[in-house]
């Protein structure tokens, strides 16, 4: 059961994800979380560095859809200036929003990765659907109320993975 929480890959940040490597793996699309994955949960807009990363993905014909559990206003304010499609109130880890994102991008599971900072929402949801999952270190050291609760559970799951030799990277939270 715990293996459903195990990410396919782990990177320090989205900036360690290269469009060249994704293309080599046959990836044509990214489903990404917003808060604490792309920017801090309380930052309304993209940073210049993030805009550059997103543009690099687009230049390599990699489609991006933001799938967030946050409300529509929060996600729209962030996504609209970037012209990135989004799904808000996603209810992750339920798979309906991920399936909708795949349909929107007109991509297959094998052509898509999920990037997120939470095991209990992004990674579990992606793994349940059979997508390649990439866990990133949260951008901010602080979290909203519900995420704080999730992080406590995640720390226990990560400790279990480490004891069982399922992960070989250090968590920096």
Asked if 136 and 116 touch (Cβ cutoff 8 Å), the reply is yes
Residue 139, SS3? coil
Answer yes or no: is 170 within a domain. no
- Rounded Cα distance between 12 and 4, Å, is 21
Which domain does 40 fall in, by range? 2-164
Tokens 């929107």, residue located: 104
Answer yes or no: is 172 within a domain. no
Answer yes or no: is 14 within a domain. yes
Q: How many domains does the chain divide into? A: 1
**CATH code: domain of residue 71:** 3.40.50.1000
**CB neighbour burial string for 37-54, b if at least 16 within 10 angstroms, e if fewer:** bbbebebeebeeebeebb
pLDDT tens for each residue of 12-43: 999 999 999 999 999 999 999 999 999 998 89
Residue 87's nearest CA partner among 18, 99, 130 is 99
pLDDT tens for each residue of 86-103: 999 999 999 999 999 999
Answer yes or no: is 173 within a domain. no
- Rounded Cα distance between 42 and 112, Å, is 27
- 75: alpha, beta or left, given left = phi > 0 and alpha = psi -120 to 50? alpha
Of 116-120, 136-140, 167-171, the poorest mean pLDDT is in 167-171
- Rounded Cα distance between 121 and 117, Å, is 9
Q: Where are the alpha helices (DSSP H) in the chain?
A: 19-24, 48-59, 72-79, 96-105, 124-129, 145-163
Answer yes or no: is 29 within a domain. yes
70 DSSP 8-state letter: S
pLDDT tens for each residue of 37-73: 999 988 999 999 999 999 999 999 999 999 999 999 9
Answer yes or no: is 109 within a domain. yes
Does residue 172 register a pLDDT over 50?
no
Answer yes or no: is 171 within a domain. no
Answer yes or no: is 36 within a domain. yes
């Amino acid at each position: 059961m715990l293996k459903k929480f195990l990410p396919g890959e782990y990177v320090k940040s989205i900036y360690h994800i290269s469009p060249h490597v994704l293309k080599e793996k046959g990836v044509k699309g990214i489903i990404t979380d917003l808060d604490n994955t792309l920017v801090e949960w309380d930052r309304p807009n993209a940073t210049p560095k993030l805009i550059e990363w997103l543009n690099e993905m687009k230049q390599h014909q990699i489609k991006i859809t933001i799938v967030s559990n946050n409300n529509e206003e929060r996600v729209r304010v962030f996504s609209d200036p970037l012209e990135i499609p989004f799904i808000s109130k996603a209810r992750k880890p339920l798979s309906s929003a991920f399936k909708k994102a795949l349909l929107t991008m007109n991509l297959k599971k094998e052509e898509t990765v999920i990037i997120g900072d939470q095991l209990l929402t992004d990674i579990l949801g992606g793994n349940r659907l059979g997508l390649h999952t990439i866990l990133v270190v949260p951008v901010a050291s602080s979290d909203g109320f519900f995420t704080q609760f999730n992080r406590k559970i995640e720390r226990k799951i990560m400790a279990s993975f480490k004891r069982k030799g399922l992960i070989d990277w250090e968590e920096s939270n």
